[in-house]
């Protein structure tokens, strides 16, 4: 069925609104992804306050300043799974099939879910920036830095949400989506999110060198500590955009497979 662009846009907006409201109406989903990253930031600041004097550690006033980028990334990774889990729940409950039976754009079903997760990711990034501000944590890049980190949170949530949507469309199981999340958590801790790569050695350093999360975090960290630079902006924005393009292609492919199997 050929649909008019205006109809597709309306369907996308309606499904995006549904996805966004579903997230904010469930405090059990919103709360942990906001509280735990801040808790880890406070714990890390207390435990590793003297680590900033280690050779190779960036010149920062506090460990909390250093871990700002890691806190933002950790929170976005936590929250970005919710949209894919909700998509799997729609498949389990039969709502997905009802959308397919209606004259609804197939891509709007996917992108509507991703829009809700992405908006939440951008909001998370902003909340973390503001929550740590009273403790002396600032972004040296100024307004451009703050905006770039929030946009990075939005795009990263979209990218990870698309990747998790592949699992949701493949399995139709919210439990499978939730079960895949620990892999992201491991990748986060095998990156430079909480310690600079210059202080690492051995296999841990080699994994961090190949881990794209390391470079996204380091871009945000550079904006926070050093100010605006082309390299920092590229790492902060271009890398998550590239990942988002790849994961979106995978999600659309898996959506086509599910539709073909009907």
Distance in angstroms (rounded) separating the CA atoms of residues 43 and 77: 19
Confidence (pLDDT) at 221:
94
For the chain, the average pLDDT equals 88
Say if CB 223 and CB 138 are below 8 A apart.
Answer: no
Q: What is the 3-state secondary structure (H, E, C) of 145-179?
A: HHHHHHHHHHHHHHHHHHHHHHHHHHHCCHHHHHH
User: 208 CB contacts (<8 Å, ≥6 apart)?
Assistant: 190, 191, 192, 197, 200, 214
Confidence (pLDDT) at 236:
94
Q: How confident is the model at residue 1 (pLDDT cuts 50, 70, 90)?
A: low
Rg (CA), the chain: 19
pLDDT tens profile 112-167: 889 888 999 999 999 999 999 999 888 999 999 999 999 999 999 999 999 999 99
More reliable by pLDDT, 254 or 184: 254
Overall domain count for the chain: 1
Confidence (pLDDT) at 3:
62
More reliable by pLDDT, 102 or 204: 204
- Look-up: residue for tokens 């709360």? 31
pLDDT tens profile 4-39: 677 778 888 888 888 888 877 777 777 888 888 999
Q: Which of 105, 147, 79 is nearest to 3 (CA)?
A: 105
| Residue range(s) defining the domain that contains residue 118 | 5-260
Average pLDDT on 224-245 reads: 94
pLDDT tens profile 29-79: 778 888 889 998 888 888 888 888 888 888 888 899 999 999 999 999 888
């Amino acid at each position: 069925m050929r649909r008019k662009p205006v109809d597709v846009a309306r369907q996308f907006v309606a499904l995006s609104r549904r996805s966004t409201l579903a997230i904010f109406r469930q405090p059990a989903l919103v709360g942990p992804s906001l509280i735990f990253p801040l808790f880890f930031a406070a714990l890390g600041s207390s435990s590793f306050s003297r680590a900033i004097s280690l050779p190779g550690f960036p010149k920062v006033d506090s460990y909390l300043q250093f871990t700002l980028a890691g806190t933002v990334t950790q929170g976005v990774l936590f929250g970005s799974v919710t949209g894919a889990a909700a998509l799997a729940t729609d498949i389990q409950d039969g709502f997905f099939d009802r959308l397919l039976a209606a004259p609804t754009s197939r891509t709007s079903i996917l992108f509507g879910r991703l829009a809700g997760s992405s908006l939440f990711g951008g909001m998370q990034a902003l909340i973390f920036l503001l929550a740590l501000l009273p403790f002396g944590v600032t972004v040296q890049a100024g307004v451009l830095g703050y905006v770039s980190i929030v946009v990075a949170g939005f795009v990263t949530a979209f990218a990870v949400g698309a990747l998790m949507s592949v699992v949701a469309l493949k399995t139709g199981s919210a439990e499978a989506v939730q079960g895949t999340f620990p892999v992201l958590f491991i990748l986060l801790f095998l990156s430079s999110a909480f310690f600079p790569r210059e202080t690492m050695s051995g296999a841990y350093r080699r994994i961090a060198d190949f881990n794209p999360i390391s470079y996204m975090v380091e871009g945000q960290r550079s904006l926070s500590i050093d100010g605006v630079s082309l390299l920092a902006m590229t790492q902060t924005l271009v890398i998550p955009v590239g990942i988002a393009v790849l994961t979106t292609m995978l999600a659309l492919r898996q959506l086509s497979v599910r539709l073909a199997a009907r």
